Amino acid sequence: MSNRFPENFLFGSASAAYQVEGAYQEDGKGLSIWDEWVKLPGKTFQGTNGDVATDHYHRVEEDIALMKEMGLKAYRFSISWTRILPEGRGRIERKGLEFYHKLIDGLLENGIEPVVTIYHWDLPLALQKEYGGWEDRKIVEDFTAFAKILFDEFHKKVKYWIVLNEPNIFTQLGYFMALHPPGIKDMGMYLKTYHHTALVHAYVVKLFKEKGYEGKIGSSIAYTPGYAKTEDEKDVEAQRRYYETVNHYIMDIYFKGKYPSWGYAYFNERGLAPKILPEDEKVLVESAKMTDFIGINYYQSATLAYNGEDGIGVSDFNVSGEKGNFRESGIPGLYRQVYNEKLKYTDWDWAIDPDGLRYALVEISERFGKPILISENGMGAFDEVSEGKVQDGYRIDYIREHIKACYDAIGEGVDLMGYCTWSFTDLLSWLNGYQKRYGFVFVDFEKEDLPRIRKDSFYFYQDVIKTNGENCLKE
């Protein structure tokens, strides 16, 4: 019998509102923190922004037709908070709701399962200015009210909900590395805002379950498994510290309801740990049990080595795409991330490690015992059009090997619901602009009409879905 994925496996692809929709001030939409951030000099690559992006807002039927042609089983997208609530709360903009009904109905009519992300980084600017957004516990009430509007409006059509996308990334980049809005460098604030994201997840899951909405709900964490560079006890200890202060720290609070003891104690001793109220503990533990699945965004692994108290600190990312600019980065006294000579790297110096995905899925499954949805996995690259074609064999190789890793993980007992690539079309890559392409569909951003071109990887993934992975697993 041929190797195939389970019949109900969700082969999908993904996007995010700010990165594709455009129409940033149309039909009553309010401004988000990203609408302001991208206009500040030097904040994004060559000043790129999402004012128009791929113009998905006006091209939704065309994009869904391409998804149907490919045969997508699922499409993961986010809902723009300020399209629904222009000021973050209060007045509801019906035109925003109508757009997402149009998108969801179009997907369902074409046999594509909508997977809705409630929040993918585009906080209403009004809430940021009023009380600092994620810095204040008021965010819990406002976010939960927003989520309830979406559940009431769409719950009969949407079976899969992701509360938050990569809360560990938007809090780290926004409050510790100052690369995303609001541009703060304060580890204590990063840990505080991350705790607030966990509370948001908890209260939204609790609301979803107590109101009896049908469907499944979780959140998506950016997960980077780590290896010790050598068997030296100092490197092995660095790996342990990485897990206690990064992977287990960010995952446990969502899916166990409490932080790992060593990691929390480490931050607490330094006056950095977030304040945990008695009511926090209760709702976090309750919601962890209620959460239906764990979303994982996987792109690369980390190789970890000893880093002394006077060691290397955090380094900025390669956002230029000039390969070979890998920089070691770390937290003094905890760990440092080093180059792995055994792996290949992308032009943005991200380690290409398909087996790291299998490894991550197995360790997450063993630790939390919940179904897993890969909500993002993909390769950013420079793609070129030649004679009307985009030959992206490097992306095909990347995706093929990661799909094989998924299959191997299922063989090791992982309950894997689906695999969503990042991304369906090319889109705005936050700090990296439009030069870093992830999609199956090339978007020519140099032309006013933004023509779409199917890449070679489009046809590859079409065949993966058609054969339920069988042809991919043969190769």
Q: Which residues are catalytic?
A: 376
Instruction: Give burial (CB, 10 Å; 0-12/13-18/19+) of 169.
Output: middle
Helix (H) or strand (E) holding 344: strand 344-345
450: left (phi over 0), alpha (psi -120 to 50) or beta: left
8-state DSSP, 275: P
Q: Looking at the DSSP assignment, which residues form a beta bridge with residue 297?
A: 222, 376
Query: Under a CB-based contact definition with an 8 Å cutoff, are residues 17 and 35 in contact?
Result: no
Give the β-pairing of 335-338 and 329-331.
antiparallel
Which spans in 176-260 are helix H?
187-210, 233-242, 248-255
Q: What angle do CA 243, 185, 121 make, to 5 degrees?
A: 75
Q: Which tokens sit at 87?
A: 């000021």
Location of structure tokens 């299922």: 410
The Cα 76–Cα 160 span in angstroms is 9
CA distances from 6 to 9, 115, 161, 417, 465 (A): 5, 19, 21, 9, 12
Burial 92-120 (b: 16+ CB within 10 A, else e): ebeebbebbeebbebbeeeebbbbbbbbb
CA distances from 332 to 183, 242, 265, 281 (A): 22, 11, 16, 30
Query: Under a CB-based contact definition with an 8 Å cutoff, are residues 178 and 184 in contact?
Result: yes
Instruction: Give burial (CB, 10 Å; 0-12/13-18/19+) of 194.
Output: buried
The Cα 8–Cα 372 span in angstroms is 14
Query: Under a CB-based contact definition with an 8 Å cutoff, are residues 374 and 383 in contact?
Result: no
Helix, strand, coil distribution of the chain in percent, nearest 5: 40, 15, 40
Burial 317-332 (b: 16+ CB within 10 A, else e): bbbebeeeebeebbbe
